[in-house]
Amino acid sequence: MESFTTDDGARIRVAVAGDGPPVVLMHEWAADHRLWEPVIHRLQSRFRLYAWDARAHGGHGPSGTAVATVGRMAEDFAQLMAHFRLDRPLIVAHSMGALTFWEYVGRYGADGVGKVCILDQSPCLVTGDDWHLGIYGDFPPARRDALTAHLKRDFPEAVLSLIGHGKNRRIRELYEANSKGIQKIRAHLGTLDPGPLIAVWESLVAADYRPVLPRVTVPGLLVYGTDSNYYGVETGEYVRDAMPDARLLVYEGADHAPHLAMPEHFAADFTAFANEAA
């Protein structure tokens, strides 16, 4: 495990593996680099992989003077590329990672990266009269505010309710049955420091990256699952149509993490995408 220090004094840990063209892996909210292990295992013979623990993530206490937000994480991402001297790396960004990437593009443009792979994410989480492609397809401000209040009262149960009240019936059934998997997630969430993660959450649900998508001018690969807990294939179609040079792959039966549901399939698709001439 390597690390670098940001300009506000935060220590950001980065797992580095493999050899080849550089690829940065950006994980989902309340997770860490370890979720990428099935992908790293399958790609490290072809690529040099950099999987970070985003600020306030990875089970370590917060450091640095800045509040953990998606904006601050975009700055961290820029400094990661500078620290490791990455020249137009490929980006694989899942969930919160995709929002962080879009925030980076909003600030710096896309010229600093080579290609990007977005995994099952909406550019705007909160729904309204003119937007129905956020969380669940039904996540208005009142529901956002109720969940944020729940996070502050009982972080583990609030996160589980976000997972368990989604679109995927199998996951709802596991949540309602309090399966061993759900119990394991609850125990893990109980070990985390909720304050910084809630600050990140509040910045994510306040963001709207729809205006940024046309600025993602590098080649894009979008991978969405038909059984996503949070979004639908139509969300992927929207992102594809809004980005100038993007294609959409749909994984039948995959949930919010299609790269983990079908890691062999994803590794083959990503490798083919990476090897294409820009």
Residues above pLDDT 70, as percent of the chain: 98
DSSP state of 180: H
The percent of residues above 90 in pLDDT, for the chain, comes to 97
Distance CA 155, CA 147 (A): 10
Q: Under DSSP, is residue 12 helix (H, G, I), strand (E, B) or coil?
A: strand
Domain span including residue 18: 2-124+208-275
Judge whether residue 60 has pLDDT over 90: no
Q: Is residue 39 part of a domain?
A: yes
User: pLDDT value at position 91?
Assistant: 98
- The whole-angstrom separation of Cα 270 and Cα 266 is 6
φ and ψ of 264, to 5 deg: -65, -45
pLDDT surpasses 90 at 278: no
Q: Tell me the DSSP string of 42-105.
A: HHTTTSEEEEE--TT-SSS---SSS---HHHHHHHHHHHHHHTT-SS-EEEEETHHHHHHHHHH
Q: Which tokens hold the place of 156?
A: 């583990």
**Residues 89-107: pLDDT tens digits?**
999 999 999 999 999 999 9
d(CA 87, CA 236): 28
Q: What is the pLDDT of residue 27?
A: 98
What are the pLDDT digits (tens) for 108-141? 999 999 999 999 999 999 999 999 999 999 999 9
**134 domain residue, yes or no:** no
Identify the bridge partners of residue 93 per DSSP, sorted by sequence position.
26, 118
Contact at 8 Å (CB) between 27 and 36? yes
Q: What is the DSSP string of 225-266?
A: ETT-SS--HHHHHHHHHHSTTEEEEEETT--S-HHHHSHHHH
pLDDT in tens, 132-171: 999 999 999 999 999 999 999 999 999 999 999 999 999 9
The 10s digit of each residue's pLDDT in 242-256 is 999 999 999 999 999
Tell me what pLDDT residue 63 has. Answer: 78
* 181-231 tens-digit pLDDT: 999 999 999 999 999 999 999 999 999 999 999 999 999 999 999 999 999
Q: Taking residues 44-69, what's their average pLDDT? A: 90
Examine residue 96 and state whether it is found in any structural domain, yes or no.
Answer: yes
Over residues 61-69, the mean pLDDT reads: 85
At 75-93, the pLDDT tens digits run: 999 999 999 999 999 999 9
The pTM of this model reads 0.97
Helix (H) or strand (E) holding 118: strand 115-119
Residue 240 lies in a domain: yes
170 burial type by CB count under 10 A (0-12 exposed, 13-18 middle, 19+ buried): exposed
**pLDDT of amino acid 99:** 98
- What the block records as the tokens of 261 is 């549901």
Q: What is the mean pLDDT of residues 255-263?
A: 97
Residue 262 inside a domain? The answer is: yes
Work out the mean pLDDT of the chain and round it to a whole number.
Answer: 96
Question: Residue 268 pLDDT more than 80?
Answer: yes
Which pLDDT value is given to residue 277? 76
pLDDT score for 190: 94
- pLDDT of 64 reads 86
**Residue 112: inside a domain, yes or no?**
yes
Q: Is 188 domain-assigned?
A: no
Q: How many domains does the chain have?
A: 1
DSSP state of 174: H
Residues 22/162, Cβ–Cβ less than 8 Å: no
Domain of residue 61, CATH code: 3.40.50.1820
Residue 139 in domain: no
Q: Which residues of 242-253 are buried (b: 16+ CB within 10 A; e: fewer)?
A: bbeebebbebee
187 contacts: CB under 8 Å, gap ≥ 6: none
Given this model, what pLDDT does residue 137 score?
97
